Structure 1
Amino acid sequence: MIRPAFAHLLQPSDMLMWSQGAAEPIDLIREALGALPDLGGLAVFLAGSYARLVGPDADPRLRIHGLGAVGSNRDLCAAGRMQVHPVNLSQLPDLLIRGAIPVSVVLMQLGPGGGSGVASPGAVQSFSRYALPRARLAVAEVNAAAPRTLTRHPPDLSRFDHLLYCDRPLIEVPQATPGVIDHSIATHAAELIRDGDTLQIGIGTVPSAILTALSSHRHLGLHSGVIGDAVLPLIRDGVIDNSRKSRDTGLTVTGGLAGSAALYRFADGNRDLLVEPVHYTHSLVTLAGLENLVAVNSAIEVDLTGQVGSEIAGTRYLGTIGGQVDFVRGAMAAEGGRSLICLPSRTPKGRARIVPKLSSSVVTVPRAEADFVVTEWGSAALRGLSVRGRARGMVAIAHPEDRENLERAAAELPG
């Protein structure tokens, strides 16, 4: 049931921001959007979204900003409705605190705490927490159905003008089934991961396949921006035990959960799991202190010199910067750390993804921070190589039918 607690307080000049991913406060969002006809205008800033409450057919008076094509936000980008802010997640706290992204209304979902007047982060440590000092209105719902998660940075309930309670099942994020190519990529990626390494790995078919391929590894650690169901078998079987982490020893650390009810049940009251805010999970100081950190990320395209494009294909916004650059830099700074960019060599329609030049010209990860690139054909170790050496490595992991064209392009590269 929608409980009108704040809609009458909204103003046309407001920019709203709410908890992302599985922690979207659905009732609060619906109430806010329902006030739009009377207000005549409103702005929102979206992080990852799966609830599909703001779609391409949203009221044209709704001004939509966000971080890119995360979840159902891809439809907004495809329709040209989202004004994309290209920022690293590690930069987001400062941008919100300073008001560079001028959020004035915060809506958050929290989880139950250990007692009266206490709450937990629930499924996600919301980015919107950093907008609270400047927000003129803050509303939180404590969802009894959310997991009671542990953190060193608990929410401060005194920050909220309105505090509501609900019992609504969390948004479940479907976990796609890996295909043959995903598993081939995973085989090569797993060869680059050693016992005792700490992983940063997200959700999707390639990450799921890689986690499956690690079933024979031992004493792995986990520190990620988000985790899904694919980590559960490895934790259950003791493959991920965090025993060799140089920071947060014995603990899995994540910024959020995105999966099924089974994942949320696993997190509920789990003392071996911390759900921490982005200023900790994505901090270079934090990441550089994780010895043998292996950052596993994907890309839309990678060029012959190792430049990574993870946002745009041609003119279509398909991805986001997110935490990719943060984790790549953190892994490269960590003692024994490695960065793996994993992708199929071609799209399902047969378009090359190892390319002479990025089709959009938008570089997400610069070539100076290239390390390993992995496709179904193998891996290319690029760190420290010359331009020509990198090109040879990239041609070797491209689709065989694309290699001749790439070799011609490589011969023309400066340097």
Structure 2
Amino acid sequence: MSVNSPPIDFYGLIREGDLVVCGQATAEPVTLTEALMAQAARLPPFRMMIGPVFSETFPASCATNVSFQSYGVIGNARRLARSGRLDVIPSNYSAFCADFAVRRHKADVVLVQLAQARDGRLSASLSNDYVIDAARAGRLVIAEINPDAPFTFGAEWPEGVPIHMRVAARRSPVELASTPPDDVSRRIAAHAASLIVDGSTLQFGVGRIPDAILSSLSHLRHLGIHSGLINDAVVDLIACGAVTNAEKGIDPGITVTNQVIGTQRLYRFVHENEAVAVRPTSYTHGQSVLARINRLVAINSALQVGLDGSVNSETLNGVAIGAIGGQLDFVRGANASPGGRAVIALPATASDGTSRIVAHVETVTTPRADVDAIVTEWGIAELRGCGLAERARRMIAIAAPEHRDALSAQLRGT
């Protein structure tokens, strides 16, 4: 096969109406997905299920006979959403994954990136999400074996799940570098860090603010990690001794995650590292598991927060630009955890200068009854146990100063 020839010919493999599921985020099998998109115009119409996209694989201009679905709009999936080509399934991430296990979602073709150990064992490597359950029922499972993908424990490919075709990867796994902090994210991080104590267990997402918060925790000790993802900042916290996973209450000494999203530095760290477990969503996001963790601090973001504490992480002006993701799973898990905290951290203003603290959110991702602490660069609003009037007062206090009078007027109805 020449370098320029396709790694696989999808003609005859993809049938009309097929649902094609591929690995998400850094687990995307780019050799396969790029080949599929390049050939899509000559294939019968099919549907593509994607998650967060950090590659350049799915441009808005791709073949019109492909329709796209996802549980949210994250990363470069926003291009498809802006062009009206992405149908969003409004589902908690844990429920979305579980729907593949019970075959509410049923894949026809599954494309997956795998790592192979020296003894031949295979691992789903960078993500232990819905792909394995999708493959159990798939008509055709095609694996991209990537020598640069780390072999991770907890994500071993089950022997009973068939792989019908294998191809050699032509690209290293997708990488996502941390975003350098700016002044606003540093100020948010300083407030959020005050809620985190020695022995806390951390959950966090992707982005500038969680990266800034993690980078401000090196002075703490005996932190643990039980998260939907880990990134390069976790390597730093382990190296400086802040993270030991010694006081989590479960999985002592083990960093637990569902996805690995970072650079080759992180991938080398997790490769064959028995102190890291890439576990399925039923474990990483399971309420019965999260409730057993000591001092779980869930750090999540939002697009808007209302004066009553309701959180919107999904839409602005009626357009989907975010996701439910694991936010509600972890907020409720942190609330059930002994000593846990559920933190929603966001800038007080959007890039266009409008307030992200609003009278009423347009979409409720996390209900006000579940909200604990809201953090902006202007401070912390402790909302748990507060009445609506006191919540509004505290929320206005952490809005940008130039928006506080307008928010107060909206509250009075004047």
TM-score interval, normalised by the smaller of the two chains: over 0.9
1:389 aligned partner, one-letter code? E
1:135 to 138, 141, 158: 138
1:102 to 99, 103, 106: 106
2:41 to 37, 43, 46: 37
1:397 aligned partner, one-letter code? I
1:19 aligned partner, one-letter code? G
How far apart, in 2, do the equivalents of 1:403 and 1:14 lie? 51
Give the deviation of 1:257 after TM superposition: 1.3
Alignment of 1:271-290 (within 5 A): 271-290=274-293
**1:256-301 CA-partner distances (Å, limit 9, x unpaired):** 1111111111111212111111121111111111121000000000
Give the deviation of 1:154 after TM superposition: 4.1
Matched-pair contact (CA < 8 Å) for 2:98–2:130: no
Partner of 2:60: 56
How far apart, in 2, do the equivalents of 1:268 and 1:105 lie? 28
Q: Is 1:72 aligned to 2:76, yes or no?
A: yes
How far apart, in 1, do the equivalents of 2:261 and 2:214 lie? 16
Q: TM-score, normalised by structure 2?
A: 0.95
Give the deviation of 1:114 after TM superposition: 4.7
Give the deviation of 1:4 after TM superposition: 1.9
Give the deviation of 1:64 after TM superposition: 0.9
How far apart, in 1, do the equivalents of 2:9 and 2:230 lie? 33
Q: Is 1:239 aligned to 2:237, yes or no?
A: no
Q: Is 1:26 aligned to 2:30, yes or no?
A: yes
Q: 1:164 to 1:126 in 2, by over 3 A?
A: farther
Matched-pair contact (CA < 8 Å) for 1:112–1:148: yes
How far apart, in 1, do the equivalents of 2:168 and 2:283 lie? 28
Partner of 2:195: 192
Matched-pair contact (CA < 8 Å) for 1:108–1:126: no
Give the deviation of 1:209 after TM superposition: 0.9
How far apart, in 2, do the equivalents of 1:7 and 1:40 lie? 9
**1:54-73 CA-partner distances (Å, limit 9, x unpaired):** 11111111111112211110
Partner of 2:402: 401
2:32 aligned partner, one-letter code? L
How far apart, in 1, do the equivalents of 2:291 and 2:118 lie? 33
Give the deviation of 1:127 after TM superposition: 2.1
**1:326-382 CA-partner distances (Å, limit 9, x unpaired):** 111111111111100000110122110011011xx2110000101000011110110
2:282 aligned partner, one-letter code? H
Matched-pair contact (CA < 8 Å) for 1:149–1:270: yes
Q: Is 1:148 aligned to 2:151, yes or no?
A: yes
How far apart, in 1, do the equivalents of 2:208 and 2:33 lie? 30
Matched-pair contact (CA < 8 Å) for 2:125–2:155: no
2:388 aligned partner, one-letter code? V
Matched-pair contact (CA < 8 Å) for 2:98–2:282: no
Give the deviation of 1:35 after TM superposition: 3.9
Matched-pair identity in %: 37
1:46 aligned partner, one-letter code? I
How far apart, in 1, do the equivalents of 2:397 and 2:188 lie? 14
Q: Is 1:115 aligned to 2:119, yes or no?
A: yes
How far apart, in 1, do the equivalents of 2:95 and 2:294 lie? 23
**1:64-114 CA-partner distances (Å, limit 9, x unpaired):** 111221111011111111000011111023322333323211111111225
Alignment of 1:3-402 (within 5 A): 3-4=7-8, 7-116=11-120, 118-151=121-154, 154-156=157-159, 158-166=161-169, 168-358=171-361, 361-402=362-403
How far apart, in 2, do the equivalents of 1:96 and 1:275 lie? 19
Give the deviation of 1:152 after TM superposition: 6.5
Matched-pair contact (CA < 8 Å) for 2:181–2:208: yes
How far apart, in 1, do the equivalents of 2:40 and 2:400 lie? 50
Q: 1:153 to 1:369 in 2, by over 3 A?
A: farther
Specify the SS of the correspondent of 2:12: helix
Give the deviation of 1:392 after TM superposition: 1.1
**1:130-184 CA-partner distances (Å, limit 9, x unpaired):** 2123211111122111011111654436422223343631111132111001000
- Structure 1 gap segments, 5+ residues each: none
How far apart, in 1, do the equivalents of 2:36 and 2:160 lie? 21
1:400 aligned partner, one-letter code? P
Give the deviation of 1:38 after TM superposition: 3.0
Matched-pair contact (CA < 8 Å) for 1:21–1:49: yes
**1:191-220 CA-partner distances (Å, limit 9, x unpaired):** 011100000012211111111211111110
- Structure 2 gap segments, 5+ residues each: none
